[in-house]
């Protein structure tokens, strides 16, 4: 077993044979649009036709996930979109939970997280809500999260916490900041804010901004000189399905007519796509140190291992401030495996 395989197994805490059976993490885009135009996002929303995933396709995906329910760690009903723009989102979450999915999460900008939607999500059985709040300063926030209103989002987050606690809901809040030049001085403010407005089981997470497979020219906050010699862990762990059924290489693969398409969930099973030739070939080339052969992967910093913050980001629990990332990550993984 070569060092690259050992690296993947260590990062994903699983044997490679198991990882190659079926994805551990699945992202589903149920409506391919967004109400924001964030400065660190490379998705070209203005040039895509609006598509909502057909219920028939969604049912097919849920059925297959339920057949692998002991294997799949997490399903994220978010992928290259704002999930709350799908008015049926809470019903889809419930369908996944009823099918035995261990953990169902969404990642949202919280702009449409009003009281009605909050209640629906909590009652649907949603396990965790990742909320992107990149600054606690109105001017910085609105510069990063273009089109969104700072006060509205802050109120929505505070209210979600209150409603969740009133309903005795189990949905954990994971407040996220994409650490970048504009907000680099705010990490400690986030921790303090979380302690004041969130609850003991919630999390504050900081991830460094990435370059979307070199589709975005970001100010690089880490030295990623050797990135092309490291295999990307996402191709052994994550499967992403667009609203029209297209299975993308990863979250950076946002174009409707992408050359990296791995298959179509309306035509093949997810297992067939996960074990299909296109993905097998990409994995093989990553293991050979040839990822620069794929334009998106060449120099991509999305899943970098040498982040200054450690492997993927920094996690603080609201309850125990300053808890180290690693033990927090272990705790999260442990919960996912339960």
Residues at the site binding ligand SF4, with contacts judged by CB under 6 A: 213, 232, 234-235, 249-250, 252, 296-297, 300, 302-303
In the bound state with ligand SF4, the residue whose beta carbon lies nearer, of 257 and 338, is 257
Taking the complex as a whole, how short is the minimal distance between the CB of residue 331 and ligand SF4, in angstroms? 25
**CB burial readout 41-70, b (16+ within 10 A) else e:** bbbebeebeebbbeeebbebbbebbebbee
**How far is 21 from 14, CA to CA, in rounded Å?**
12
In the bound state with ligand SF4, the residue whose beta carbon lies nearer, of 148 and 300, is 300
In the bound state with ligand SF4, the residue whose beta carbon lies nearer, of 135 and 251, is 251
In the bound state with ligand SF4, the residue whose beta carbon lies nearer, of 10 and 192, is 10
Taking the complex as a whole, how short is the minimal distance between the CB of residue 32 and ligand SF4, in angstroms? 18
Query: Long-range contacts of range 46-54, CB-CB < 8 Å, 24 or more positions apart?
Result: 48/256, 49/256, 51/242, 51/243, 51/244, 52/86, 52/243, 53/28, 53/29, 53/86, 53/243, 53/244, 53/245
In the bound state with ligand SF4, the residue whose beta carbon lies nearer, of 172 and 208, is 208
In the bound state with ligand SF4, the residue whose beta carbon lies nearer, of 302 and 317, is 302
Taking the complex as a whole, how short is the minimal distance between the CB of residue 301 and ligand SF4, in angstroms? 8
In the bound state with ligand SF4, the residue whose beta carbon lies nearer, of 250 and 332, is 250
Written as six digits, the tokens of 200 are 């003991």
Taking the complex as a whole, how short is the minimal distance between the CB of residue 87 and ligand SF4, in angstroms? 30
In the bound state with ligand SF4, the residue whose beta carbon lies nearer, of 157 and 296, is 296
Taking the complex as a whole, how short is the minimal distance between the CB of residue 102 and ligand SF4, in angstroms? 24
**How far is 247 from 235, CA to CA, in rounded Å?**
12
Taking the complex as a whole, how short is the minimal distance between the CB of residue 183 and ligand SF4, in angstroms? 23
Taking the complex as a whole, how short is the minimal distance between the CB of residue 76 and ligand SF4, in angstroms? 15
Taking the complex as a whole, how short is the minimal distance between the CB of residue 327 and ligand SF4, in angstroms? 26
Taking the complex as a whole, how short is the minimal distance between the CB of residue 227 and ligand SF4, in angstroms? 8
In the bound state with ligand SF4, the residue whose beta carbon lies nearer, of 96 and 296, is 296
């Amino acid at each position: 077993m070569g060092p690259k395989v050992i690296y993947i197994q260590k990062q994903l805490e699983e044997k490679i044979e198991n990882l190659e059976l079926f994805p551990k993490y699945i992202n589903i885009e149920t409506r391919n649009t967004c109400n924001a135009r964030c400065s660190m996002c490379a998705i070209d929303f203005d040039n895509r036709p609006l598509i909502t995933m057909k219920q028939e396709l969604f049912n097919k995906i849920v059925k297959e996930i339920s057949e692998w329910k002991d294997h799949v760690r997490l399903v994220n009903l978010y992928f290259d979109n704002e999930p709350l723009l799908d008015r049926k989102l809470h019903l889809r979450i419930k369908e996944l939970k009823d099918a035995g999915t261990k953990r169902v999460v969404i990642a949202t900008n919280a702009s449409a997280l009003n009281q009605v939607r909050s209640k629906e999500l909590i009652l649907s059985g949603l396990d965790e809500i990742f909320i992107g709040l990149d600054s606690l300063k109105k001017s910085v926030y609105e510069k990063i999260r273009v089109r969104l209103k700072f006060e509205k989002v802050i109120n929505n987050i505070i209210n979600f916490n209150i409603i969740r606690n009133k309903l005795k809901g189990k949905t954990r809040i994971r407040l996220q900041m994409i650490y970048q030049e504009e907000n680099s001085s705010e990490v400690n403010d986030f921790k303090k804010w979380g302690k004041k407005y969130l609850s003991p089981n919630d999390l504050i997470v900081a991830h460094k901004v990435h370059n979307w497979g070199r589709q975005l020219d970001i100010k690089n906050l880490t030295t990623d000189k050797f990135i092309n010699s490291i295999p990307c862990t996402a191709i052994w762990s994550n499967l992403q399905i667009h609203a029209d059924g297209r299975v993308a290489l990863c979250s950076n693969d946002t174009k409707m007519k992408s050359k990296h398409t791995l298959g179509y969930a309306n035509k093949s099973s997810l297992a067939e796509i996960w074990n299909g030739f296109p993905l097998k070939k990409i994995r093989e080339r990553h293991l050979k140190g040839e990822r620069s052969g794929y334009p998106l992967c060449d120099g991509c910093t999305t899943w970098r291992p040498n982040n200054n913050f450690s492997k993927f980001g920094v996690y603080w629990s609201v309850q125990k401030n300053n808890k180290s990332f690693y033990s927090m990550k272990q705790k999260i993984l442990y919960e996912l495996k339960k």
